[in-house]
Amino acid sequence: MTTGLGTFDDFPRTILAHAPTPIEKMENLTAHLGGPALWVKRDDCTGLAFGGNKARQIEFYFGEAQAQGADTVLITGAVQSNFVRTVAAAAAKLGMDCHVQLEERVKGVDDTYRTSGNVLLDRVLGAHIHSYPDGEDEVGADRALGAIADDLKAQGRKPYIIPLSPGHPPLGAFGYVVAARELLAQMATEGLDFAEVVLASGSTSTHAGMLHGLRALGSDLPVLGVCVRRSAELQAPRVKARCDDIAELLGTETCVTEADVRVTDVALAPGYGQLNTMTLEALELAAQKEGLVLDPVYTGKVFAGMVHWVRDGAYGDGDNVLFLHTGGQPALFAYEPKLAAHWAEAAE
């Protein structure tokens, strides 16, 4: 076994993201909250159909798919999945067919949620849309996707599946190993020193990829994952397991300890894809102080978590804190009725 990034650069990769993405200081928000200086890394600016973190994550999946001669790509995700939308865009760009399976992860949704935002973009991008009734059955969702792939094979197609459940090679996380290397280079060039990176922790690909990349490159920069799908108690071991999977795939020693895995679920309730007061405030703060558009599912909750810890005194006045903006803005439109109701209530 070796240390560092191992055979990372030997894996096939299709470049899809616009990178490096810029790092900007959030001057107005810093002045508004007081305390540490707040910064944002703009991974919402990665291009490819509204950009976001998924543009980085899919590069190694599509690299493998093209190396295998696939002509069709399949993926499963939530109804308003950014991952699904980005895969559909990449498939279109690369001249491949795309089949997407949308899972019922959020309860009590309306017609706007089912037709606007990412779902609208999936249709515009020409994806073939399938449905799966259970939003908490990752293995079953992957199995159903496999059945669709089998039908395509019977028709003479060459499908490639991007899996959802754990137990598969973590190629998506490689995108944020790349991002970790990019971030360290920017910090060195621009003379920046961050007390912490704050990012979304959901599938764990972004969180684990960034954390593994930093540690493999010798950086002890703390990473705080804000839980967007499950509790911190359940999320922490998933992140550690994904970091171990990355090391195994690269043929290197595990470089991430349990102590390195920091997660908070302070902004999670009442659950995945559901608004709360903290997230609503975060959406407005980011937009009205910095012109940053967030989404209610991921970045809104991450921003809310960061603001919470700033107000709680977790950082010193001389610290720099970096928020990783992973995009997802199309999902905002799916929540228009809920946002309108919130503003109407606030105006009363």
Domain boundaries, the chain: 8-52+169-347, 68-162
Per DSSP, what are the bridge partners of residue 201? 227
∠ CA 234-239-243, rounded to 5°: 155
- Establish whether 201 is a catalytic residue: no
pLDDT of residue 137: 86
Please identify which residue in the block is written with the tokens 């810093």: 30
pLDDT of residue 134: 85
Span 252-262, pLDDT tens digits: 999 999 999 99
The hierarchical CATH code for the domain 8-52+169-347 is 3.40.50.1100
Asked if the model's pLDDT at residue 1 lies above 50, the reply is no
SS3 sequence, 92-104? Answer: HHCCCEEEEEEEC
pLDDT of residue 287: 98
pLDDT of residue 219: 97
**Fold match, 8-52+169-347 / 68-162:** yes
Dist. CA 232–CA 294, nearest whole Å: 22
Sheet bearing 159-162, strands edge to edge: 128-132, 97-103, 72-78, 159-162
Give the mean model confidence (pLDDT) for residues 71-95: 97
Asked if the model's pLDDT at residue 320 lies above 70, the reply is yes
Q: Are 308 and 266 spatial neighbours (Cβ–Cβ below 8 Å)?
A: yes
Q: Which residue has the higher pLDDT, 342 or 193?
A: 193
pLDDT of residue 108: 87
Tell me the H-state helices in 52-81. 54-67
| Cβ neighbours of residue 17 closer than 8 Å, sequence gap 6 or more | 46, 47, 48, 51, 55, 56, 59, 175
Give the mean model confidence (pLDDT) for residues 191-211: 97
Give the mean model confidence (pLDDT) for residues 164-183: 92
Q: Are 205 and 170 spatial neighbours (Cβ–Cβ below 8 Å)?
A: yes
Running DSSP on this structure, what letter comes out for residue 252? B
**What is the CATH architecture assignment of 68-162?**
3-Layer(aba) Sandwich (3.40)
pLDDT of residue 346: 85
- State the pLDDT confidence band at 337, using cuts at 50, 70 and 90: very high
Asked if the model's pLDDT at residue 2 lies above 60, the reply is no
Asked if the model's pLDDT at residue 348 lies above 80, the reply is no
How many CB atoms within 10 Å of residue 106?
Answer: 17
Output the six-digit token pair for 214.
């930093």
pLDDT of residue 31: 97
Output the six-digit token pair for 19.
């990178």
Percent of the chain residues topping a pLDDT of 90: 89
- State the pLDDT confidence band at 89, using cuts at 50, 70 and 90: very high
**Catalytic residue of the set 81, 116, 201, 205:** 81
Percent of the chain residues topping a pLDDT of 70: 99
Average pLDDT score over the chain: 95
Element (H, E) at 187: helix 171-190
Give the mean model confidence (pLDDT) for residues 41-54: 98
Give the mean model confidence (pLDDT) for residues 141-170: 93
What pTM was computed for the model?
0.95
Span 55-75, pLDDT tens digits: 999 999 999 999 999 999 999
Dist. CA 113–CA 134, nearest whole Å: 17
- From 161, 251, 139, 263, select the one nearest 208 (Cα to Cα): 263
Give the mean model confidence (pLDDT) for residues 272-276: 94
Asked if the model's pLDDT at residue 247 lies above 70, the reply is yes
